Amino acid sequence: MREDAYAAALGGLSGATPLRLHNLLRSRSAREALRAIESASIGAEVAPPEALAEWQREISRLDLPSASARLDELGAHVSTLHEPIHPPQLTNDIDPAPLLFRRGRLPDPSLLHVAVVGTRRASAIGREVARELGFGLAQAGVVVVSGLALGIDGEAHRGALLAGAVPPLAVVGSGVDVVYPKRHSDLWEEVASAGALVSEAPLGARPEPWRFPARNRLIAAFSDLLVVVESRDYGGSLLTVEQALRRDIEVMAVPGSVRNKAASGTNQLLVDGCAPARDVTDVLVALGLSVIAVASRRNEPEVNAPESPLGTRASPAHRAAGIGDSAAVVGRTAVVLDAIDDGPTSVDEVVDRSGLDVIEVYGLVEELVALGLVVHDGSRVRRQH
């Protein structure tokens, strides 16, 4: 039987809060902690008598072999304080996580970790930015930390996986065996196999709302820097920001349109003095990784703009022929391209601005879509970067 089945059992006790577990595990291994509970040789400051009695009842019913088998089946591991595998970021944190479930391999703690978080209800542009940040950071050798939620979190993970460089780290609120959100089950498995997926919650724990603020604290604890891509006025991302500030971790925010409600929280962060993160370079500079990029960006803005391999719909043949380049667009097509914003624009607006026929504009817009320069979702068009 595996040794960490004891830790899994300890983490599964009801009311095993991080504080209580920390007191239990400060000077004991998980196995010793369970024995101490069984023999009631722990102080009342660790657990009040009624909790202790409940724990003893639960321990008397423990089925360690099946817990061990479950860990094997999931390929999961459990680590506690003082074990060498336990992430030092969590051991030394101001709210230490004494016990951690994980799937996959934890990234080298000496690598820089950057959390990319944001709202679940993100705009299309927000998602794109999150994916690009994830991609760029991973490529630059940074561990992307996020929460695997819908919207920004998931996109950041996707981007990082696409880079195929440093695999991402996901901190989730439910048990590592409870996929949430369901729609991310593929992404969940990909992160768990390529990178690491960790949780404080015991196996089988449902994604109850109260688990997420605690999860956000772990995201902050793991990170050297926090980037918020899009956040509403209130939301989990702002709790993560609070946790980052408690730990003196730098927070950056991606500026959004003043009309974009999904960006009102991030814009407020900028007003409050966070540094703006316009792209990966801004983040890398803040990490002290990319001074050269800054210098070259100021001098030659076009040349050094990293070519985004993401999201562009131009076919390989087009790209090889250099057609997917806005410089190659001339004449009326260029007029239409000029009339299209980076943000969503209605076709009627493009008609107004370009002064061309509706029918002609529809044709030219579609031509630009085929070239991969413009996205048309049926409602709006916008430039593709």
Judging by DSSP bridges, how do beta strands 76-80 and 99-104 pair with one another?
antiparallel
Q: Which residue of 127, 131, 158, 211 would you call a contact of other proteins, by CB under 8 A? A: 127
Q: Which residue of 1, 85, 295, 358 would you call a contact of other proteins, by CB under 8 A? A: 358
Taking the least distance from each CB to other proteins, the nearer of 64 and 150 is 150
Q: Of the listed pieces 2-10, 39-47, 123-131, 159-167, which binds other proteins according to CB under 8 A?
A: 123-131
Measure the CA–CA gap between 142 and 166, rounded to whole angstroms: 6
Q: Tokens at residue 17, please?
A: 């809060």
Q: Which residue of 51, 347, 354, 373 would you call a contact of other proteins, by CB under 8 A? A: 347
Give the x/- contact pattern for other proteins in 61-100, rule: CB under 8 A.
----------------------------------------
Q: Which residues contact 276 (CB under 8 A, 6 or more apart)?
A: 252, 253, 254, 255, 270, 282
Helix spans in the chain (H): 4-12, 18-25, 30-38, 49-60, 64-74, 88-91, 124-139, 152-163, 185-194, 211-222, 236-246, 264-271, 280-286, 291-299, 316-320, 331-339, 347-354, 358-370
Query: Do the Cβ atoms of 22 and 46 come closer than 8 Å?
Result: no
Taking the least distance from each CB to other proteins, the nearer of 35 and 353 is 353
Q: Of the listed pieces 8-16, 77-85, 118-126, 131-139, which binds other proteins according to CB under 8 A?
A: 118-126
* Beta-bridge partners for 226: 115, 251
Query: Do the Cβ atoms of 368 and 347 come closer than 8 Å?
Result: no
Q: Which residue of 121, 246, 247, 385 would you call a contact of other proteins, by CB under 8 A? A: 121
Taking the least distance from each CB to other proteins, the nearer of 50 and 377 is 377
User: CB 262 → other proteins: shortest distance, Å?
Assistant: 7
SS3 22: helix
Q: Of the listed pieces 40-48, 53-61, 117-125, 218-226, which binds other proteins according to CB under 8 A?
A: 117-125
Measure the CA–CA gap between 14 and 16, rounded to whole angstroms: 5
User: CB 237 → other proteins: shortest distance, Å?
Assistant: 16
Taking the least distance from each CB to other proteins, the nearer of 20 and 120 is 120
Task: Please give the residues from 167 up to 186 whose contact with other proteins meets the rule CB under 8 A.
Answer: 183
Q: Which residue of 35, 376, 383, 385 would you call a contact of other proteins, by CB under 8 A? A: 376
Task: Please give the residues from 312 up to 331 whose contact with other proteins meets the rule CB under 8 A.
Answer: 313, 315
Q: Which residue of 319, 353, 380, 383 would you call a contact of other proteins, by CB under 8 A? A: 380
Furthest CA-CA distance within the chain: 85
User: CB 23 → other proteins: shortest distance, Å?
Assistant: 40
94-121 residues labelled b (16+ CB within 10 A) or e (exposed)? ebbbbbbbbbbebbeeeebbbbbbbbbe
Taking the least distance from each CB to other proteins, the nearer of 124 and 305 is 124
Strand order in the sheet with 275-276: 76-80, 99-104, 196-199, 169-171, 143-146, 113-117, 225-228, 250-253, 275-276
Measure the CA–CA gap between 118 and 239, rounded to whole angstroms: 11
- Is 363 an interacting residue with respect to other proteins (CB under 8 A)? yes
- Is 364 an interacting residue with respect to other proteins (CB under 8 A)? yes
Task: Please give the residues from 223 up to 282 whose contact with other proteins meets the rule CB under 8 A.
Answer: 257, 259-262
Q: Which residues contact 236 (CB under 8 A, 6 or more apart)?
A: 117, 147, 149, 212, 213, 216
Taking the least distance from each CB to other proteins, the nearer of 16 and 148 is 148
Q: Which residue of 42, 294, 334, 370 would you call a contact of other proteins, by CB under 8 A? A: 370
Binding positions for other proteins, rule: CB under 8 A: 120-121, 123-124, 127, 150-151, 183, 257, 259-262, 313, 315, 344, 346-348, 351-352, 358-360, 362-367, 369-370, 376-380
